Amino acid sequence: MKKVITYGTYDLLHYGHINLLRRAKEQGDYLIVALSTDEFNWNMKQKKCYFTYEQRKQLLEAIRYVDLVIPEENWEQKIDNVKEFKVDTFVMGDDWNGKFDFLKDYCEVVYLPRTPEISTTQIKNDLSV
């Protein structure tokens, strides 16, 4: 079984997220999503989420492409996650291009194109107008 992992916040879930998850799942048989915790988002990314970690986790678990949701609690856990879950492929959106190449010593690293016309930031900006 080929395992794939991706990371993200997935707040205000939208069709761009679904496109990424579908294409990530196409890279293998089992998709793990490391979901940023509320504390990690606030303390390390200075992001305040609309939905709590538990709510975002429920949404992700309801998506047919997602097999397992685990917490992302820090930037440094990626190598440990790849080893622990015996991951074959690490997938991120191409806005992170090159940032995770250090994982190539442990697994394949794939950067997928984002859905260009949608983002959580765009949704938040559009709603505040």
Which residues are tagged catalytic?
A: 45, 47
Extract the tokens encoding 31.
């998709």
CB atoms under 10 Å from CB of 97, counted, come to 11
State the burial class of residue 82 (Cβ atoms within 10 Å of its Cβ: 0-12, 13-18, 19+).
buried
